[in-house]
Structure 1
Amino acid sequence: MKIKATLERIPGGMMVVPLLLAAILNTVAPELLRIGNFTQALFVDGSSTLIALFLLCTGAQINFRNVGVSLGKGATLLTTKWLVGALIGLIAYIFAGENGLWLGLAPIAIIAAMTNSNGGLYVALVGQYGDKTDRAAYSLLALNDGPFFTMVALSIFGAMGFVDGLFSFVSFIAVLLPIIVGMVLGNLDEEMRAFLDKGSSMLIPFFAFSLGMGIDFVAIIEGGLSGVILGLATVFLTGTAGYFVFKAFKWNPIAGAAEGSTAGNAVATPAAIAAASAGFASHVDLATVQVAASTVTTAILLPIYIGYLVKRLEKKGTKIPDDYVIK
């Protein structure tokens, strides 16, 4: 059987096929692989460990002279993602009806979903379509995990005061450290760099499957059409913005588009904000299911959108990622 060749013919296949298979399995038989020991550790609970190892392998491919490029890409993506999400959230607040909703969406859900991104999905996509500096940019993108940037947007809008304690510097370092370890190993020994290079692509389908085991298609139903619309907006607005910003900088635009997702941990953001300010309590339940629906929608749609963008560039004679690889 030509499993690998078949997956490679599907846009983002190494990522999207295992993820969708796992999501289907998690929806119809969630306990099937949750039997403990090695099976559950690899196929259900392994995403964090596998992604950490992926980042270490990726870090080993980074030459110290290219660190600035990675940080520049990460900062650019972080800023673009936040600006688009915050702007749409501001529009939602301005035009919200008497019930506090805009087009059926809670503004807090819009900001939470659109300023946050699925790091696992990003590293999987740039692992297939990006270069080492695109992958290393994730170390900075980890800043948008959790409610921190949602709170920043709300404080700027005057909706609530800035709340301390929502960003952990230790958590940021914990994300960055595997990349640093990989960088040190790769720069000290070229043979270690070559050895660890093999892990970068090999790990993608495994942590994609594990990520899929955290997706339940029921979330789309519970979130309703409004949650799906939020997911579509996240992919096509933040992803497309990242695409054109990266293209303007003459960086791989596919890496820019790969940030157009909503992370699973964003589901907890509305509750975290309501805990800090009771004024948001009335929309917590609705916002939570809308963000959950956006998470599932973006996890499915973004790899397909990325595949479309890749084919579009290839038709114009641009090879991805070859034409944007920093040697």
Structure 2
Amino acid sequence: MKIKATLDRIPGGMMVVPLLLAATINTFAPNLLRIGGFTEALFVDSASALIALFLLCTGAQINVRMFGVSLAKGATLLTTKWVVGAAVGLIAYMFAGDNGLWLGIAPIAVIAAMTNSNGGLYMALVGQYGGKDDRAAYSLLALNDGPFLTMVALVIFGFMGFVEGLFSPITFIAVLLPILIGMVLGNLDEDMRSFLDQGSSILIPFFAFALGMGIDFNAIIQGGLGGIVLGLMTVFITGTAGYFIFKALKWNPIVGAAEGSTAGNAVATPAAIAAANASFASMVDIATVQVAASTVTTAILLPLYIAFLVKRLEKRGFSFNNGNLMRKGV
């Protein structure tokens, strides 16, 4: 039975298939794998640990001389995601109706969903289509976790004052540390670099499955059409912006598009903002379900969009070699 060969024929199959399989299980039989022991530990609760190990293995492949490239890519991804998401959020505020909604979407949900990104999904996608420096760029992307960048956008727009305590430097360091440990090991010992290199591809389907066990298709229904539209905007606006900016900088554009998602932790952002400023309290419920719907929509749609972009590039004569986009025959 050619399981791996079948997955390899599906664009992003090593990530997409386990993720959708787990999401289906979580939606229709959520307790099937939540039986405790090693089963639940591996298939349900392992995403953070496996992604951390993936980051360590990736960090071991980074030569200290190329770390500057990773930081540049991470800063570009972070800035693009925030600028585009905040700009759409500003438009939502400017053209919101009397009910406070724009196209049926709460403006606070727009900013929360579109300035945030799913780090696990990004790592899975660049693990298949990106290079080592693209994976290491994730160290900066930790900055868009949680409500911090949403708050920054609102401060700039003048809708609320700055509130301390919504971003912890420790959180950022906690994400960066596995990469740094991997870098130290890999740069001290070439044999360790080769040994840890094997872990990068092996881990992808396992943490993709664990990510899927956090997805419930019912969130799309609860979020309504507005939540789905928000997910579509996140993928096609922020993802496409990242694609063309990376292309303009002569980097792998697929990596730029891989940021077009909404992370699950963004679901808590509207409530966190309302806790800081009560004027947002009336929008918390609808914003929360819409961000949740965007999370699920982007988790399903972004890998498919990436696969479309990859096929489009391949038809134009490009191929991927160790994360680098190259013209065939060159």
Whether these two folds match at TM > 0.5 is yes
Q: 1:243 to 1:50 in 2, by over 3 A?
A: same
1:87-236 superposed matches below 5 A: 87-236=87-236
Instruction: Provide the C-alpha distance between the structure 2 equivalents of 1:261 and 1:303, rounded to a whole number of angstroms.
Output: 10
Query: What whole-Å deviation, never above 9, does each CA across 1:72-123 have from its counterpart, x for those lacking one?
Result: 0000000000000000000000000011100000000000000000000000
Are 1:258 and 2:258 matched, yes or no? Answer: yes
Which ranges of structure 2 fall in alignment gaps of 5 or more residues?
none
Instruction: Provide the C-alpha distance between the structure 2 equivalents of 1:262 and 1:226, rounded to a whole number of angstroms.
Output: 15
Residue in 1 that maps onto 2:86: 86
Instruction: Provide the C-alpha distance between the structure 2 equivalents of 1:248 and 1:162, rounded to a whole number of angstroms.
Output: 35
Residue in 1 that maps onto 2:11: 11
Q: 1:198 to 1:323 in 2, by over 3 A?
A: closer
Q: CA deviation at 1:316?
A: 1.1
Q: CA deviation at 1:320?
A: 2.1
Residue in 2 that maps onto 1:280: 280
Instruction: Provide the C-alpha distance between the structure 2 equivalents of 1:13 and 1:6, rounded to a whole number of angstroms.
Output: 8
Are 1:238 and 2:238 matched, yes or no? Answer: yes
Secondary structure in 2 matching 1:96: coil
Residue in 1 that maps onto 2:302: 302
User: TM-score normalised to the size of structure 1?
Assistant: 0.98
Residue in 1 that maps onto 2:318: 318
Instruction: Provide the C-alpha distance between the structure 1 equivalents of 2:159 and 2:11, rounded to a whole number of angstroms.
Output: 41
Query: What whole-Å deviation, never above 9, does each CA across 1:243-289 have from its counterpart, x for those lacking one?
Result: 00000110000000000000000000000000000000001000000
Asked if 2 retains the 8 angstrom alpha-carbon contact of 1:131 and 1:325, the reply is no
Q: CA deviation at 1:321?
A: 4.4
Which AA in structure 2 matches 1:114? M
Count of paired positions: 326
Asked if 1 retains the 8 angstrom alpha-carbon contact of 2:132 and 2:323, the reply is no
Instruction: Provide the C-alpha distance between the structure 2 equivalents of 1:207 and 1:283, rounded to a whole number of angstroms.
Output: 33
1:19-98 superposed matches below 5 A: 19-98=19-98
Instruction: Provide the C-alpha distance between the structure 2 equivalents of 1:250 and 1:110, rounded to a whole number of angstroms.
Output: 30
Instruction: Provide the C-alpha distance between the structure 2 equivalents of 1:4 and 1:102, rounded to a whole number of angstroms.
Output: 45
Q: CA deviation at 1:318?
A: 1.2
Instruction: Provide the C-alpha distance between the structure 1 equivalents of 2:325 and 2:60, rounded to a whole number of angstroms.
Output: 16
Asked if 1 retains the 8 angstrom alpha-carbon contact of 2:60 and 2:193, the reply is yes
Secondary structure in 2 matching 1:105: coil
Which AA in structure 2 matches 1:220? I
Instruction: Provide the C-alpha distance between the structure 2 equivalents of 1:321 and 1:295, rounded to a whole number of angstroms.
Output: 31
Which AA in structure 2 matches 1:129? Y
Q: 1:325 to 1:182 in 2, by over 3 A?
A: farther
Which AA in structure 2 matches 1:216? D
Q: CA deviation at 1:322?
A: 4.4
Q: CA deviation at 1:18?
A: 0.2
Query: What whole-Å deviation, never above 9, does each CA across 1:188-227 have from its counterpart, x for those lacking one?
Result: 0111001000000000000000000000000000001110
Instruction: Provide the C-alpha distance between the structure 2 equivalents of 1:320 and 1:42, rounded to a whole number of angstroms.
Output: 31
Instruction: Provide the C-alpha distance between the structure 2 equivalents of 1:323 and 1:118, rounded to a whole number of angstroms.
Output: 20
Instruction: Provide the C-alpha distance between the structure 1 equivalents of 2:321 and 2:176, rounded to a whole number of angstroms.
Output: 24
Q: CA deviation at 1:325?
A: 6.9
Which AA in structure 1 matches 2:120? G
User: TM-score normalised to the size of structure 2?
Assistant: 0.98
Q: CA deviation at 1:163?
A: 1.1
Identity value in percent = 80
CA RMSD of superposed structures (Å): 1.0
Residue in 2 that maps onto 1:248: 248
Instruction: Provide the C-alpha distance between the structure 2 equivalents of 1:106 and 1:76, rounded to a whole number of angstroms.
Output: 27
Instruction: Provide the C-alpha distance between the structure 2 equivalents of 1:315 and 1:213, rounded to a whole number of angstroms.
Output: 34
Which AA in structure 1 matches 2:190? E
